Homo-oligomer: A and B are copies of this chain.
């Protein structure tokens, strides 16, 4: 019997060709199987139930901030972060073969993507914005319905996925638009992976709550500052239904298995009402 290569099936939100799929390929390689899901909760359910082996979810964007919905999903599920990556959001004007730019009068995409290409629309007033569900989904729709005067805005991966053509590349107004994605595994698989992976630098993500007392967050951050651990993210979020209590997201540079990081987390546990390590993983570039 030959050796069976270990192929992951990766659940993500959106259609094939979505930016989440781009992130999934960066994190899991070209051979991974892709399991597109309608909603983020479906992504978590797919992996928790064992129907997919991994999940890739966005956690923050440079323009739009943290995606609280996915931090909620992380708290409500037992999946573990094992890797991170960034995707630059490049929007391309894409059409079915045979549709030239001169013919384009309508451009379909998700409203957020349309609104990130306002310079393009200002330069081409003859072209109308047409809101659609999904960036990649708008390319899929064009290839099925073949309107002769329409294009879509989506990733180049979406053009490849559906056999469409890129008419213009990089039409987004702001080239500093990045989304950070994380790879999630079930606890058992995460433990195995952590034991075998080598890395130059590590990052640890955790969530905790404190009572709203003056200085509570200052003392909590002391657990890290007093051990010279650098934070790469700190964010407060009011707790639903509990006025004056806060949930904090915190990322620090360090391996949760090292003594100083272990001690910092134990110190935080003394000060926080609740805390959970979401994962410890090689620091992305």
Q: With an 8 A cutoff between CB atoms, is A131 at the interface? A: yes
Q: Say whether A98 faces chain B, with CB atoms less than 8 Å apart.
A: no
Could you tell me if B214 and A218 are in contact, using CB atoms closer than 8 angstroms? no
Q: Are B68 and A65 in contact (CB under 8 A)?
A: yes
Is A266 part of the contact surface with B, judged by Cβ < 8 Å? no
Contact partner of A240 (CB less than 8 A), chosen from B62, B115, B129, B229, is B62
Interface residues of A in 227-285 (CB under 8 A from B): 228-238, 240-241
Question: Which of these, B66, B212, B218, B229, contacts A225 with CB under 8 Å?
Answer: B218
Of all chain B residues, the one with the shortest Cβ separation from A68 is B65
Residue count of chain A within 8 Å CB distance of chain B = 43
Q: Is the CB of B240 within 8 A of A228?
A: no
Chain B's nearest CB lies how many Å from the CB of A63?
A: 6
Asked if A221 and B217 make an inter-chain contact with CB atoms under 8 angstroms apart, the answer reads: yes
Tell me if A111 counts as interface (CB < 8 A to partner B): yes
- Residue A78 interfacial (CB < 8 Å): no
Say how many copies of this protein the assembly contains: 2
CA distance A232 to B213 in the complex (A): 10
At the interface, yes or no: A46 with Cβ under 8 Å from chain B? no
Instruction: Note all chain B residues with C-beta closer than 8 A to A233.
Output: 236
Q: Is the CB of A64 within 8 A of B62?
A: no
CB closest residue in chain B, given A108: B131
In the assembled complex, how far is the CB of residue A57 from the closest CB belonging to chain B, in whole angstroms?
A: 14
Is B214 a contact partner of A234 (Cβ separation < 8 A)? no
Query: In the bound complex, what is the Cα–Cα distance between A219 and B65 (angstroms)?
Result: 24
Residue positions of A touching B, CB distance < 8 A: 39, 62-69, 110-111, 115, 118, 129, 131-133, 176, 212-215, 217-219, 221-222, 224-226, 228-238, 240-241
Name 14 extra pairs, CB < 8 A, besides A65-B66, A214-B225. Answer: A62-B238, A62-B240, A63-B68, A63-B69, A65-B235, A110-B111, A110-B131, A131-B132, A176-B240, A212-B232, A213-B230, A214-B228, A218-B222, A234-B234
Q: List 22 A-B contacts (CB under 8 A).
A: A62-B238, A62-B240, A63-B69, A64-B64, A64-B65, A64-B67, A64-B68, A64-B69, A65-B65, A131-B131, A131-B132, A131-B133, A215-B225, A215-B226, A217-B221, A217-B231, A218-B218, A231-B236, A232-B236, A232-B238, A233-B236, A235-B236
